Amino acid sequence: MDFRFTPEEEAFRKEVQRFINEELLPPGFWGGMEDEFDLEKFEFSKQVARKLGAKRWLAMNWPEEYGGLAASPIQHMIFKEEAAYRGVPGIDMGVGGITWVGPTLLLLGTEEQKKEHLLPLAAGEKWWCTMYSEPGAGSDMAAVMCRAVRQGDEYIVNGQKVWTSAGHIADWGWLLVKTDPDAPKKHHGITLLLVDMKTPGITVRPLINMAGHHFFNEIFFDDVHVPVANLIGEENRGWYHTMIALSFERTAGVMFAAGARRLLEELVRFAKETKIDGQPLGKDPSVRQKLAELAIEVEVGRMLGYRVVWLQTKEAIPGYEGAMIKVFASETLQRMANIGTQIMGLYGQLGLDSKWAPLQGIIADTYMNSVGMLIAAGTSEILRNIIAERGLGLPRGA
Ligand SMILES: Cc1cc2nc3c(=O)[nH]c(=O)nc-3n(C[C@H](O)[C@H](O)[C@H](O)COP(=O)(O)OP(=O)(O)OC[C@H]3O[C@@H](n4cnc5c(N)ncnc54)[C@H](O)[C@@H]3O)c2cc1C
């Protein structure tokens, strides 16, 4: 593995930094976690996505005919890293649009599906949500019950999804359904569909998270008609298609690592500038030890993230390596938020809406949102199981 970036990549990083700082975000902007789809903020997320789409940066690693720049995975990673560092909203076009919907469509989609969906995604025009989870199917995703019955050239969908991030702002949905309840194994008989979220029969009910953000939702399907032309890959092979999408999803860890790096830098600044009994907080041995420990973790997370993207440049599909970075970086972010609240005392509990909150209230916001980050995209326990099985070759757990 070569740890150096090329001069062109370094120059591109500078150009991304300049564009974000000077043309994209207002001075001092630093996005909170999970607030990009709050309805009062979403208009800004849309403006940002359109500007990035116009530069073809959102999906720059896609082929040019589908709205990309045929850029390398490394260059795309540099963009995502810089954007995540500054809390740029909307860079996934909802949840998954750029990270797994587009890449999976490039592999499995029909030409019509690619033409219809990839260009508006890359242009920052159409927003997506992902509907895998149900009340009885989370870690055990093969237990999906949401039913699709084929009638002529349509599927009729009935059932419920839950925790659907961005469901309330999404134009399109990536939906896992049960098409053959009699299949001999439960992960057979599952199918992936694309759904226009404006289709009659779809009801979106908000779930407000504990930080007060409207990030995810419950979605109900009541005789929803979906054209068979919206089938991804083959009917009843949705499980295997979803495994491909999940391998793309877990490459997003580098963004967690970049968000953690920004938070650490701000905490260090806070520790230097804040005085307790006339002494900077950063002189306190316990504060110094904690921040130094976090600095190590942030660097490790960054390297784990780079490794995953480097594997992609070798045309390899990251498996347990994606699980490693997601577990490590999300848990680092949580430890950082915990330490941040300890360092700040009672002020650390003030959120984004308080003018008295240090660091714009990001610490309290991250403290609460980071809990969900250890669950979304596979819980830490499930990801450790993947590392144990696929990385260490241990037998399957009970
Ligand atoms: C912020 C956030 C955003 C989300 N966004 C989406 C989204 O956009 N779309 C979507 O479809 N879903 C989404 N989810 C749902 C998420 O994928 C599920 O919550 C997750 O897969 C866990 O499923 P569950 O909640 O049913 O918990 P369960 O699967 O019931 O797990 C409960 C506990 O048991 C543990 N556990 C379960 N099985 C095992 C095992 N085999 N070995 C060891 N421990 C185990 C888990 O680790 C967990 O601690 C989101 C969740 C969050 C928190």
- Give CATH superfamily name and number for 129-236: Butyryl-CoA Dehydrogenase, subunit A, domain 2 (2.40.110.10)
Give the per-residue pLDDT at 177: 98
Question: Is the pLDDT assigned to residue 250 strictly greater than 80?
Answer: no
| Rounded-to-10 torsion of CA 364, 321, 307, 114 | -90
Mean pLDDT of 28-34: 84
Tell me: the pLDDT tens digits for 96-124? 999 999 999 999 999 999 999 999 999 99
The per-residue DSSP string of 120-144 comes to HHHTT---EEEE--BTTBSSSGGG-
CA gap 102, 84 in Å, rounded: 20
Q: Which of 1, 131, 120, 104 is CA-nearest to residue 67?
A: 120
Tell me 168's DSSP state.
T
Band (pLDDT 50/70/90 cuts) for residue 325 is very high
Distance from C-alpha of 333 to C-alpha of 336, rounded to nearest angstrom: 5
245-254, 264-273, 344-353, range with the lowest pLDDT: 245-254
Which residues approach ligand 1 with their CB closer than 6 A? 95, 130-133, 138-140, 163-165, 216, 372, 375-376, 379, 381-382, 385, 397
> What is the C-alpha separation between 160 and 147, in angstroms, rounded?
9
∠ at Cα 376 (374, 380), nearest 5°? 40
Which residue has better confidence, 257 or 317? 257
pLDDT at residue 290 is higher than 90: yes
- Minimal CA–CA distance to 137: which of 101, 99, 190? 190
pLDDT score of 2: 67
Q: How far is the CA of 279 from the centre of ligand 1 (A)?
A: 44
Summarised one tens digit per residue, pLDDT across range 342-397 is 999 999 999 888 999 999 999 999 999 999 999 999 999 999 999 999 999 999 87
Q: Which of 242, 379, 396 to mutate to test the pocket of ligand 1 (most atoms within 8 A of CB)?
A: 379
Question: Burial of 396 by CB count in 10 Å (0-12 exposed, 13-18 middle, 19+ buried)?
Answer: exposed
* Domain spanning 245-391, CATH architecture: Up-down Bundle (1.20)
Distance 378 CA to ligand 1 centre (A): 6
User: Is residue 117 a contact partner of residue 109, using CB atoms and an 8 Å limit?
Assistant: yes
pLDDT of residue 251: 74
Domain layout of the chain by residue ranges: 7-126, 129-236, 245-391
> What number of H helices and E strands is found in the chain?
11, 9
- In angstroms, the CA 176 to CA 161 distance is 9
Residue 145 has pLDDT above 90, yes or no: yes
pLDDT band, very low/low/confident/very high, at 1 (cuts 50, 70, 90): low
Pairing of strands 128-131, 190-196: unpaired
> CATH number of the domain at 7-126, out of 1.10.540.10, 3.40.50.720, 3.40.50.2300, 1.10.10.350?
1.10.540.10
Distance separating alpha carbons of residues 148 and 225, to the nearest angstrom: 9
pLDDT average, residue stretch 121-141? 97
> What is the arithmetic mean of pLDDT over 174-190?
95
Tell me whether domains 129-236 and 245-391 share a fold: no
CA 63 – ligand 1 centroid, Å: 33
DSSP-assigned beta bridge partners for residue 158: 147
Burial class (CB in 10 A: 0-12, 13-18, 19+), 294: buried
